[in-house]
């Protein structure tokens, strides 16, 4: 299936921040540009305060929408103050993709050494929608997209990818 035709996904991007507006949202813009450059569609982009219920409200709406294939979040994954994105998202997941966080921290270690242990990046699936919870730094978002997410959201990647498991895209 090496010559399979690329399947464009509808991907929503959520920036979680108490301090950033659209003008300062470097990481959210980076993710939108990266997914579009890969051939996907940014179906929606939003910024919310680091509030568990505000985060859940946006993501719940997206996972209930059959047109949204994946969600990328950036921010709120630290271990201080109001960082609550992992707590907001984890209860929505039907299944967590444990390997994502493990691989992300391993790759991060190559760049930021032991500071990588502070990352609470995670991924999972809810209502056939993949959700990736990324740190707020643009370097972390770039690393996650380039080394992990882009390949798994490309149906041409073998031996397997997450797109192969999306019922909506694989109906005969």
Q: Per-residue pLDDT for 77 more than 50?
A: yes
Q: Which residues contact 170 (CB under 8 A, 6 or more apart)?
A: 163, 164
pLDDT digits (tens, 9 = 90+) for 106-161: 999 999 999 899 999 999 999 999 999 999 999 999 999 999 999 999 999 999 99
Residue 172 is predicted with a pLDDT of 47
- Region 71-99: mean pLDDT is 96
Helix, strand, or coil (residue 3): coil
Specify the higher pLDDT residue, 168 or 147.
Answer: 147
- The structural domains of the chain, ordered by start, are 10-167 (3.40.980.10)
- Residue 129: strand pairing partners: 126
Query: Using CA atoms, how far apart are residues 49 and 81, in angstroms rounded to an integer?
Result: 13
Distance separating the N- and C-terminal Cα atoms of the chain: 16
Please give the angle made by the CA atoms of 73, 76 and 77, to the nearest 5 degrees: 90
Q: Which phi and psi angles does 84 have, rounded to 5°?
A: -140, 15
- Region 75-96: mean pLDDT is 95
pLDDT digits (tens, 9 = 90+) for 21-58: 999 999 999 999 999 999 999 999 999 999 999 999 99
DSSP state of 149: I
Q: Where are the alpha helices (DSSP H) in 118-169?
A: 138-144, 150-152
**Cα→Cα distances 43→8, 18, 52, 66, 68, Å:** 11, 23, 22, 12, 7
Residue 167 is predicted with a pLDDT of 78
């Amino acid at each position: 299936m090496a010559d399979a035709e690329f399947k464009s996904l509808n991907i929503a991007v959520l920036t979680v921040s108490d301090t950033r507006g659209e003008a300062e949202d470097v990481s959210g813009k980076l993710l939108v540009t990266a997914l579009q450059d890969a051939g996907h569609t940014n179906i929606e982009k939003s910024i919310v305060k680091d509030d568990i219920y505000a985060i859940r409200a946006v993501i719940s709406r997206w996972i209930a929408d059959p047109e949204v294939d994946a969600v990328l979040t950036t921010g709120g994954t630290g271990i201080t103050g109001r960082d609550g994105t992992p707590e907001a998202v984890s209860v929505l997941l039907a299944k967590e993709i444990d390997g994502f966080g493990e691989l992300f921290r391993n790759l991060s270690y190559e760049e930021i050494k032991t500071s990588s242990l502070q990352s609470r990046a995670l991924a999972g699936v809810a209502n056939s929608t993949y959700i990736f919870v990324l740190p707020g730094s643009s370097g972390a978002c770039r690393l996650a997209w380039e080394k992990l997410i882009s390949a798994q959201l490309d149906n041409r990647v073998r031996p397997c990818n997450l797109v192969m498991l999306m019922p909506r895209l694989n109906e005969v």
